[in-house]
Structure formats: structure tokens, C-alpha cells
Amino acid sequence: MELKNDLILRAARGEKTERTPVWLMRQAGRILPEYRAVRNSLSGFIELVKNPDLAAEVTIQPVDILGVDAAIIFSDILVIPEAMGLPYEMIEKKGPWFPNTIKSEADLKNIRIADSSSDLGYVIDAIKVTKRELAGRVPLIGFAGAPWTIFCYMVEGHGSKTFSNARKMLYTQPALAEKLMQMITDSTITYLKAQIEAGADIVQVFDSWAGILPADQYEQFSMKYIRQICSAITEVPVTAFAKGAYFARKSMATLDCETIGLDWNMDITETRELIGPNKTLQGNLDPCALYGSNAEVEAATKKMLDAFGPDRHIANLGHGVYPDIDPEKVKVFVNTVKEYSAR
Ligand SMILES: Cc1c2[nH]c(c1CCC(=O)O)Cc1[nH]c(c(CCC(=O)O)c1C)Cc1[nH]c(c(CCC(=O)O)c1C)Cc1[nH]c(c(C)c1CCC(=O)O)C2
């Protein structure tokens, strides 16, 4: 199916575009009353993730309602641990919870490299339904968590400010950590390839907990595996987003990927210098800027666009949109990008 709007794909490849493309991390979700209505018709988040027709519906909602230039498949990064044999629960107002975690070498016996066709068939089906229903309107983004971030949940068992149990393993059982990280990496590569095969036009790797590691450990325990993923995915453009990894930007410049995501703490000009001209940058408006007035959102968005310049930029926030943001403010952000960058 020919894409009618392929702006993000062209921007990712470094081709000239009529204007800067825009989408938002976490655009499919709680900011939209239309999402909450679908979500409340089921018993929970995981039921929605595992229902391909409804997952497709909430994937497409932000395209219709917010006017973004891409859809991102409605799922979660935690489907990988589950497919490896470590199921999760999503506890209302608290977040993910793993009844079992990885603590020792013996625990590896209970997990396996995920088989995308059998264990993750529901995501693959959701992608197929979404592609059919999008009918080429905008590209579909596939995604996975980076091995380090997935490792954090598999070892810690839940969200944390420090992930000190996960970080402890890097010091006390580094060989076990690396074995687990490699299993996650192998699972992720086949999973992303299955997403692409089903129709994902571009894929993003989310390293949400990059910022809690020291630079040397980040190279050893995270970049090493992100590098493997980037090199293995040759079919479509890849975006690497490592939140808080300002110390790793020079190293990220050498990844075999098209786009690097910036969080809102990263200076745009400095990052462009560190990454060089051969990659597209994605980001990076402060998610809290959307709490401002319409005029303030507009001004902040224009300032961001001026700093990135017209080429090799995909506009986004510096992290996922917060659940209590007014969708009208998101529309101001999206429309400002579209109008101000058009030339
Ligand atoms: C760390 C992480 C997770 N999940 C994800 C990350 C990486 C990105 C980031 O750093 O934000 C990625 C993710 N999660 C979700 C998407 C869907 C697509 C999108 O719109 O971006 C994506 C890309 C849906 C979701 N994932 C989750 C929800 C909310 C669940 C609900 O509907 O109640 C949604 C829409 C739940 C989730 N899932 C996760 C947490 C910590 C939580 C609870 C806290 C929270 O809600 O943000 C793990």
C-alpha cells in the first residue's frame, strides 16, 4: 500500500521534506477520552494490548483526533518479558508488576528467547489490522524496549526511581546480567523483524532508564546491545531513544541507525554537534511545556523548531506525553509544527 504521507520516513532517511513531521511518544493513550472509553470497556490494559481490533482502534485515534504524521502501535515494551516467560500485571495507578523476577542463574532456566509468531502473535495481528485500517494515510511505528530497560523490569520487578536491584546485578553478577541481556536482545531482534514483516514502516527502541547508569556501564550493558539491534534491522529506519543518556551521545552517533531521540534536557545545538550531520534528530519539547497557555505552547514549539532547523528533524516531545495534558494543547503543538515549518 502506497503511503500518502511518508514525511517521517523521508525525514529519517535525510531526504528533504515540505515541512517537519510530528508525532508524540505515548500519543495513543490516556490523554484521549476516546481511549479511556475503549479501555474502560475491558477489564484492563493488558486485555486491550491483547485485542488486535481494539488495539488498532486506539492506535489510529491520535491520527484522526490530533493530526499526527505517524501512528505508533498500541502495545507495551513489557510484552517481551512476558513472551520470554516472565508475565506482568498492570496495577491501576501504580504501574507494572512482575510476580516473578530474575535473581540468580537458576532463574534463567524458567525463561526463553521469545518466539514472536507464537508468543507475540497478538501484536503482529494488531499491526496487520492497523495497517489495513490506516490504508496508507500515515506510516506505522513499531517499537520495543532497549535490553537494559527491559532488564530493569525483569530484575527489579516493578518501576523504581533507582532500579538499585537491577543495577546491583551489574556489580555482583555481571556474567548473569550479560546472559540475560543477550537473551532479551535476541528476542527483541526477531520481534522487531516480525513487526516489520507485518507492516511497521519504522521502528523505535526505547531506553527509558538509560540515564541511571554511569557512562562506562552504559556502554557495556546497554549500548552494546542497542548496537546489535540497530545493525540487525536493515529493512526500515531505526530510531534510538535513550532517555537521560546525554553522556552517550557521541557513542550514539556511531550506531547503525537513522534517527536519535533527544530528551528535553539535551541541548539541541550541542547534540547536533556531537551526533554530526548524518543522522536525523527527534524531539524534544519539554512534556511540561504543554501545561502552558496556547500562546506559550506555540512560542516554545517555534523556539524548538528554530533550534533544530528545517532538515533532519522529526518533531516530538522529549518523553511521553503526560496523562493529564489537555488534548487541545497537543493540537496546538502539532499544528504549530505543521504551519511554522512549512515552506
Ligand atoms: C518504560 C515504558 C513502559 N512502556 C513503554 C515504555 C517506554 C517509553 C517511556 O519511557 O515512556 C512504552 C509504551 N507504552 C505504551 C506505548 C503505546 C504507544 C504510544 O502511544 O506511545 C508505548 C510506546 C502504552 C501504555 N503503557 C502503559 C499505559 C497506561 C495504562 C493504562 O491505560 O492504564 C499505556 C497507554 C502502562 C505502563 N507501561 C510502562 C509503565 C512504566 C507503565 C505505567 C506508567 C504509565 O502509565 O506510564 C512501561
Note the pLDDT of residue 117: 87
H helix or E strand, kind and range, residue 65:
helix 52-66
pLDDT band at 177 (very low <50, low <70, confident <90, very high): very high
Ligand 1 center from residue 76 Cα (angstroms): 6
Domain spans in the chain, listed from the N-terminal domain onward: 7-341
pLDDT in tens, 79-97: 999 999 999 999 988 999 9
Phi-psi category of 142—alpha, beta or left, where left has phi over 0 and alpha has psi -120 to 50? beta
Q: What is the DSSP letter of 22?
A: B
| pLDDT at 1 (0 to 100) | 77
168 alpha carbon to ligand 1 midpoint, in Å?
25
Average pLDDT, the chain: 97
**In sequence order, what are the residues at sequence separation of 6 or more whose Cβ sits closer than 8 angstroms to the Cβ of residue 90?**
44, 45, 46, 76, 96, 97
**C-alpha of 27 from chain center:** 11
Model pLDDT for residues 95-133, shown as the tens digit of each residue: 999 999 999 999 999 999 999 989 999 999 999 999 999
As a whole number of angstroms, the distance between CA 222 and CA 255 comes to 12
Could you give the angle at the alpha carbon of 58 between the alpha carbons of 17 and 211, nearest 5°? 65
- Going by the annotation, the residues of the binding site for substrate are 26-30, 76, 153, 208, 319
Interface ipTM: 0.94
Alpha-carbon distances of 334 from 9, 24, 114, 148, 256, rounded to whole Å: 18, 9, 37, 31, 29
pTM over 0.90: yes
- pLDDT > 70: percent of the chain: 100
Kindly tell me the burial class for residue 33, based on how many C-beta atoms sit within 10 Å of its own C-beta (0-12, 13-18, 19 or more): exposed
DSSP state of 221: I
Question: Which of 23, 27, 76 to mutate for ligand 1's pocket (most ligand atoms within 8 Å of CB)?
Answer: 76
Among residues 342, 335, 337, the alpha carbon closest in space to that of 302 is found at 337
| Sheet-wide strand order for 259-261 | 71-72, 140-145, 202-207, 238-242, 259-261, 280-285, 313-317
Read off the pLDDT of residues 275-316 as tens digits, 9 standing for 90 and up.
999 999 999 999 999 999 999 999 999 999 999 999 999 999
Q: With contact defined as beta carbons under 8 Å apart, do 271 and 242 qualify?
A: no
pLDDT of residue 150: 98
Name the class of domain 7-341. Answer: alpha beta
> What pLDDT shows up at residue 278?
97
pLDDT at residue 201 is higher than 90 = yes
Mean pLDDT along residues 51-77: 98
pLDDT digits (tens, 9 = 90+) for 209-264: 999 999 999 999 999 999 999 999 999 999 999 999 999 999 999 999 999 999 99
Q: How far is the CA of 226 from the centre of ligand 1 (A)?
A: 20
User: Which protein residue's CA is at the shortest distance from atom 42 of ligand 1?
Assistant: 95
